[in-house]
Each structure stands twice: as structure tokens, then as C-alpha cells.
Structure 1
Amino acid sequence: MNSFILNITASSGEFYQGSCESMVLPVKDGVYGVQAGHSPVLVAIHMGMLKFTVDGETREILVGDGIAEVTPTFVLLLVDSAERPEDIDKNRAEAARIRAEERLQHKQSMHEYYQTKIALDRAMQRLQTAAKYKR
């Protein structure tokens, strides 16, 4: 099967680099599929599950917002965060959700409000992912 080079870089550093056969990116209005030979495009990534296939095995990771540069031979993802579902600490995510919900109860500037909403969305996505992929 045809493949391309996939490079996933999070704000904490390189998460994955290697061959990939296909991938499905989370975007604001659904998902976006990529295969080898894809036309060049830039895609805005929305927090969610990224699925990619390596040697016939599908892998899934939770990615934060970011951007993907797609070419026929490689895909470069730059995302805020990237983590395997099994690495999510459910207790930590629950504590983050509680903190964000408490902050929403207080008067905040618009900037603080949007930052808190982002934190709450991230915590909720992590909790949903951890529940779905629990060991």
C-alpha cells in the first residue's frame, strides 16, 4: 500500500514521525481524510481523536487544536497537545474540569472567559476519551 511520512509535533515536542498509510483528522465540522498522493492543502485541526494507520494497524491519539500541512508525500501536524488515550490521567482531567467549571462561576474578562471555556472543553474531551478507551 502507498504511504507518506507523518510528523506530529505538539507544543511539548515531537510526538510521532514515521510512515503512514492513511489518516483521519478531526476538524471543526467533522473529519478530514488523507491518503498518500493527496493534493497539497492546509487544514485547521480541532481538538479530537486523530486516527492514522501504520502497517495496517490503526492508532488513535487525542490532539489539541492546530494545523496540518498536507502534501502528496508528507503530512506535518502542529498541535497544542497530543496524547495516547491510555496515557490520560482521568483524575487529573476531572480535577481540571472542576476547576474550569468553578472559574466560570466568577466574573471574568472576555479573554479569561474564553480561556476557561477552552480549558473546560479540553478537560471534557480528555474525560470522554479516557472513558471510551479505559483499560
Structure 2
Amino acid sequence: MADKTFECTIITPHGPIYTGRVESASIPAHDGEVGILQHRAPLVCKLGAGRLRFRSEAGLESWFIDGGFAHVRDDRLLVLTQEALRPEQINIADAWARLEHARQMIAVDEVSTRRRTQLETSARARLRVAHSRR
């Protein structure tokens, strides 16, 4: 696997939470998933809430990512995000509460409608990633 790998780093406001060599990655861009392999062309993209997946020596790993940015260059993937959680770190009851809170928000203008949609999308993605561990 070593000859087909690239470096992957996940950084939150609290600092780096993952650094390792991976063979492939799939990132949740704001407009769909983007696949990353070794020697990929340089890329900067906005991330949405969703599942970051990558294949490492340990096997297939999944993380919940709540927005941010990804940068690919020189066989390095850098993910900057507000929050990144492994499936086993997600509290399912809390995720359901977040979804219910988003559904109950009253949207009176474009900004509040966008915020409600963003919170609901994040809660749903959190639940999908949490259930992927089962």
C-alpha cells in the first residue's frame, strides 16, 4: 500500500486530530462527494456536513465532518473543519435532538431558512455516520 498512499490530516479548532497515510479518500464537498487518490490535481473546496471516508492500513475509516475546507496538493490532503467525529464518538440521542431542534426552527427570511437547512443537513449527516458503525 505504501507506494499508492498520500498524507491525510484532519484539523479542528482544537488542533490536529488525525494524521496518517491513506490510499484513497472521499470528502463531503458542499456540492457533492469528491474522490481523492495519489497524484490528484491540486484542489481547494468548501466542505459540507457529511462523511469523510478514507482507506488506510487499518482499513476503511469514516468521520463526520461539519463543514470547513479541504486542500489537496503534493500528495497531501488537509481537512480544516469545525468538528470531526468518528462514528463511535457520536451521541445518537444528541443527534436526534439536533434534528428535532432544526425542524422546529421558524424560518422568517432567507438567512433563517438557510440556517435551518444547514442545521438539519448537519444533524442528518451526523445520524448517517453514527449508524454506519453498526
User: TM-score range with shorter-chain normalisation?
Assistant: 0.7 to 0.9
Q: Does 1:122 align with 2:99?
A: no
- TM-score (ref. length: structure 1): 0.83
> Do the aligned partners of residues 131 and 41 (structure 1) sit closer, same or farther apart at CA in structure 2, a change above 3 Å counting?
closer
Consecutive unaligned residues of structure 1, counting only runs of 5 or more, are none
Counting strand residues as a fraction of each chain, which structure ranks higher? 2
Per-residue deviation, 1:90: 0.7
The CA distance in 1 between the partners of 2:109 and 2:81, in whole Å, is: 26
> Do the aligned partners of residues 13 and 39 (structure 1) sit closer, same or farther apart at CA in structure 2, a change above 3 Å counting?
same
- TM-score (ref. length: structure 2): 0.83
Equivalent residues, number = 132
| Structure 1 residue identity aligned to 2:54 | F
1:56-92 residue CA offsets vs partner (Å, 9 max, x unmatched) = 6111111122221111321111123211111110111
Pairing of 1:33-44 with structure 2 (within 5 A): 33-44=35-46
Question: Is the contact made by 1:40 and 1:72 (CA closer than 8 Å) also made in structure 2?
Answer: yes
RMSD (Å), alpha carbons: 2.0
SS at match of 1:98: helix
Aligned to 2:108: 108
SS at match of 2:64: strand
The CA distance in 1 between the partners of 2:9 and 2:101, in whole Å, is: 33
The CA distance in 2 between the partners of 1:73 and 1:128, in whole Å, is: 29
Question: Is the contact made by 2:50 and 2:122 (CA closer than 8 Å) also made in structure 1?
Answer: no
Consecutive unaligned residues of structure 2, counting only runs of 5 or more, are none
Aligned to 2:24: 22
